[in-house]
Amino acid sequence: MKVAALLMAAGRGERLGGAEPKQFLPLLGRPVLRHAAEALLRDGLVDAIQPVCADAERVRVNALLEGLAALPAVAGGATRQASVRAGLEALEARAPTIVLVHDAARPVVPAGTVAALLAALAEAEGAIPAQPVADTLKLAEGETVLRTMPRDGLFRAQTPQAFRFPLLLALHRAAEEGATDDAFLLEAAGHAVRLVPGSESNVKITLPGDLERVEATMTRDMLPRVGTGFDVHRLVAGRPLFLCGVEVPHSMGLDGHSDADVGLHALCDAIYGALAEGDIGRHFPPSEAQWKNADSAAFLRHAAGRIAARGGVLANADVTLICERPKITPHAPAMITRVASLLGVDEGRVSVKATTTERLGFPGREEGIAAQAAVSLLVPA
């Protein structure tokens, strides 16, 4: 292995507030740390990622990084410095030449950053992305300004930071606690650290409002796409009734090869249509026995995965169920919760409602139930 990257995900993010550590918060339908990992791997210059997290979160982190070139997560320490050392120790047997250290709370690594860092290591033992300080700096005591500080030569350090692996491991093993970042250890030992251009988009999610700022940056160059879907199944005796992922008490259920959930089927078709990827029958042919009586939740998870694979995000989804009975309104909140969970989005982005046909046609005669769905996506141009 030539290049490895530590993904530091052991922090609690107390300044952001909330019960969930910031690296696990949803951002455009995926956790922040998933975005950070994908950004590190995007240019194909990093061979593998070594996640470092709280011991209790290791299983969760492994699941969130499934499908990526990520090694099994290792437990961090009481401080960031201790956590980095734990990650380096875990990588030692793989003997990488270079290691990057990146904050899992930085979901955007601008294109070209990793390449610039690796190029800088040809002339130095360490390299970091940084931006010059542009604002006037004030030294204060409490709320009183004492004096203005010179800002010439001052830079704001970002991650990922890049180092020669054997040197960084040796410095961590010998260091006392107190380093503010890994470049500090090289500086203290007299080793050269080069700067490469940082970016305003490389935001570390720290304070309330940072998530919204990052989301605005990430969606700036995306294009909206709209899809619609429609499905219908007849009602029969002896089958459970599933609508939008929820089993609804009723004297009859929907007939079909799978569980015949018209709400989820229409929603899948809407998503596949927005992505120009056919319909649900293309992805899950009814002629295949493996989908006999299948839970349609698997279909919607697949559709959500296709959005993520295209680098897109679901802006909203709207499902209308068309039937005389059962009454949908009492079950709509549970349906919204279920659909949002399957899609990995906030419930505020999902609508489930119902209408009748005033007793006209097959829904009016209670022979079947229909559903129509519409979605709006944002997908990279």
CA distances from 126 to 9, 100, 199, 253, 364 (A): 22, 10, 19, 64, 71
Q: What's the confidence (pLDDT) of residue 180?
A: 82
Give 37's Cβ-side CA count (13 Å radius): 27
Could you tell me which residues are beta bridge partners of residue 9?
A: 53
User: Which residues fall within 8 angstroms of residue 174, CB to CB, at 6 or more apart?
Assistant: none
Same domain, 243 and 211: no
CATH number at residue 299: 3.30.1330.50
Amino acid at 185: L
User: Which residues fall within 8 angstroms of residue 239, CB to CB, at 6 or more apart?
Assistant: 252, 253, 254, 255, 260
Each residue's pLDDT expressed in tens, for the chain with a length of 381 residues = 799 999 999 987 665 556 788 999 988 878 999 999 999 998 999 999 999 999 999 999 999 999 999 999 999 999 999 999 999 999 999 999 999 999 999 999 998 999 999 999 999 999 999 999 999 999 999 999 999 999 999 999 999 999 999 999 999 999 888 888 899 999 999 999 999 999 999 999 998 889 888 888 888 878 999 999 999 999 999 999 999 999 999 999 999 989 999 999 999 999 999 999 999 989 998 888 888 888 999 999 999 989 988 888 899 999 999 999 999 999 999 999 999 999 988 899 999 999 999 999 999 999 999 999 999 999 987
User: Is 309 strand, coil or helix?
Assistant: helix
Same domain, 32 and 162: yes
In the chain, the number of structural domains is: 2
- Nearest one of 64, 34, 33, 29 to 316, comparing CA atoms: 29
- Domain extent, residue 41, equals 3-219
Q: What's the confidence (pLDDT) of residue 16?
A: 58
Q: Which of 219, 252, 271 is the last residue of a domain?
A: 219
- Nearest one of 309, 319, 305, 311 to 355, comparing CA atoms: 319
Which H or E run contains 318?
A: strand 313-322
- Rounded to an integer, what distance in angstroms lies between the CA atom of residue 260 and that of residue 243? 8
Q: Which of 164, 193, 219 is the last residue of a domain?
A: 219
Contact 235, 369 (CB under 8 A): yes
Same domain, 191 and 228: no
Contact 284, 297 (CB under 8 A): no
CATH number at residue 136: 3.90.550.10
Same domain, 338 and 361: yes
Q: Which of 219, 254, 280 is the last residue of a domain?
A: 219
Please, what is the angle between helix 262-274 and helix 297-309, to 10°? 20
